[in-house]
Structure 1
Amino acid sequence: MATGGGIAAAAAHKSVQLDVDGVERTVSTFAGSVAGLLDEQDVAVGERDAVGPDPDAPLEDGDLVVVRSARQIRVDVDGEQRAMWTTADTTAEAIQSFGEGGREITVAASRSRDGSRQALDMPLVDGEPVDVVVDGQTIRVTPEGEAHVDDVLDLAGTSLGKLDDVVVGTGDDDIVQVTVTRGQHSMRTHVEPVPYETTEQEDDSLYVGERRVVQEGAEGLRVRAALHVKTGDQESAGEASEFVTVTEPVAEIVAVGTKERPAPQPAAPAAPAPSASGSSSGSSSGGSATPSAPSGAVSGDVWAALAQCESGGNPTVVSSNGLYHGLYQFSVATWQSVGGTGLPSQASPAEQTQRAQMLQARSGWGQWPHCSAKLGLR
């Protein structure tokens, strides 16, 4: 019985070859099946992994057990991005298996965080020829043994810039094809104006209510830039920079009068009207002399003449610069200073004349420097 047990144990012992993802080793085992061998050797098998022979198959001495782990790669299938699983050893095999049925399959090489190029995480080919399409020419190389994308590009003497794209596919003759598309970049700018400010400064050479532009304002310019990258037919724009002012705005400076206007001088009393006999007092018929005009009174004809000079006698007129209104060309500020509301050009002629008389009584004829001088009022 002891001898028989030894014979049975010897029959149960096997020596097999185990190949896991290309790493092959010789294993001694008493396992009766492929699944038992994998459990014994702590080889975990996922639902997408490939195992040969079938895990339920009995294990015989001298067998070769092959395990290929599935991995997920992102591919472009007929122009649509997909994540697909493969147990192929090389990118070329994966593309060829996905491409059955006339589908066009490509795989984009990835980039590292610093922008440098990385190869795919699996070899591109294992000793097969590769066409490198770059800068308008096709270069065929045949690496010895396994080679990644970067190895193939080195063999073709091709260097990559950080903006270049690399895509792996197959050519018309089913040869693996690595296509390099050069990226181009340009800096585009956006310019916009910078508004200017208006400041006021007191000026004792101007009367209160008078204003004068001392320095004309001018807008500035500011600019910001964004990097645009074009790869093939695709173009993308980076985030725009902060604005940088290239021309500073020039502030407008306005002088504002602070000098008090002189008090108005009373008008000279009117001379008495001569009598019918030519004397300066009384008349031959005994009637009284014509009374003189009250002190400070101004004839209505004077205001009509002033209005005609200032505005052509049009109570609704507004100056071309929009600052002066009505019969006597009031500014809005001056109009408000004598109790007016709204716009002077919207008030009645009577109100405009009344407030002009108030202004003259307060500040004199200098409020209308040109026309008052022309009419001999000062």
Structure 2
Amino acid sequence: MSKSQYETYEAYGPGAAPPDESGGAPPGRYDANPVAHARAGEPVLPRQGAGGPPGEEAREHGSVDLLVVRPGLRADGDGEEPDGRAARRRRVRGGERPESAVRRLLPQALVVAFLAGGTTAFVAKDKAIELSVDGDRRTLHTFADDVGELLAEEGVRVGAHDMVAPAPGTELTSGDEVAVRYGRPVRLTLDGHRQQVWTTAHTVAGALDQLGVRAEGAYLSASRSRRISRAGLALDVRTERAVTVMADGRTRTVRTNAATVREVVEEAGITLRGQDTLSVPGDSFPRDGQTVTVLRVTGRREVHEEPIPFPAVRIADAALFQGTEVVTQPGRPGLRRTVYYVRTVNGVRQRPRPESTELVRAPRTQVVKVGTRPRPASVHDADHLNWHALAVCESGARPDAVDPSGTYGGLYQFDARTWHALGGKGRPQDASPAEQTYRAKKLYVQRGPSPWPHCGARLRG
């Protein structure tokens, strides 16, 4: 097969001159180059003879010239290839019919035409594409059918958070633009709420716009012009909020992007003193529309002393008549001291809160003897007397009566010495009325009405 850029197949009839030994065309054979503008792979019509219509010379000599041009190349005006080699021709003898020659050469012409068409398709698949990767733009040629193939061909790897426009499955045509923007993680704290988001923006301002964050009047922990690397960044955003502060009978509403409630109170011009506190935690994040109340707190300590009741022990005593009780050890209450802390909030006293308790004095147990001895039925020579009248005169008929000096006690105002001499226990005023009357009768039997110099006459009255 010839290695020339195109091949010429020529049928020679009687009288036609064969090609010279160098392979070139016979001198003066053609007066023009019919393939100068022929399309690749297409047969060229028989050449025009000198002074005649196309194909006339072929019919005259009983031969036909068929010229086929190889794809992508052209013949020069002398019928030679650009490299100077003559086109080779195959002769069809004059005895052969032109139709047979055409049929014999047609398969070879079709092969050449197929190759030319493949080259045309090869050229048609080449596309000029403008690719932008994170803002880096370049124009390249590719045979990729769609965006995904182009990115794979260029080694551009994309993930779930990256943006590709148009989408990876989109078909490509020459002149298309493909943009890839890598996702960047942003650890965003927006008004106290932490989250991780992704953005394809290159700057903080672009990320805020892409995320739909209202940045007007907001606090930003990074400059809006700061670039975001592929590694991402941490960004704290506090939007502007309206917070109402109530203090000292006044209401103030401030617009703020403060990080804590305490900062909002300070921006409102309010100073917390001593034990003053807030209706919400001071380190909490202030919300839009929130109302914060300042609580003015004062406090003081109060000491309270509380008595502790004493217990009583009762002991049976057979020496005492039934119904008689004698206190042998008087009880004494104890004492407890408690310190209370009392708060006043905005002028209102709160419930006291105990802080400490101290036992000042322990209580003393009271011991009481209870008589179990049967009482005698009567005292001879004394039962008929008016003992009630004597009791009224001496004590106003009160069994526990004691004179102002503390010496005499009971219904009949016994002194302790006389009482004990009559068999009484303890103090007379602690004994039962029946026992007191019994001891008084015994005293009358011994001494008559003399123990009662002022009221003794009432016994017979």
Instruction: Calculate the TM-score normalised by the size of structure 2.
Output: 0.30
Structure 1 or 2, whichever has the larger Rg, is 2
Instruction: Calculate the TM-score normalised by the size of structure 1.
Output: 0.35
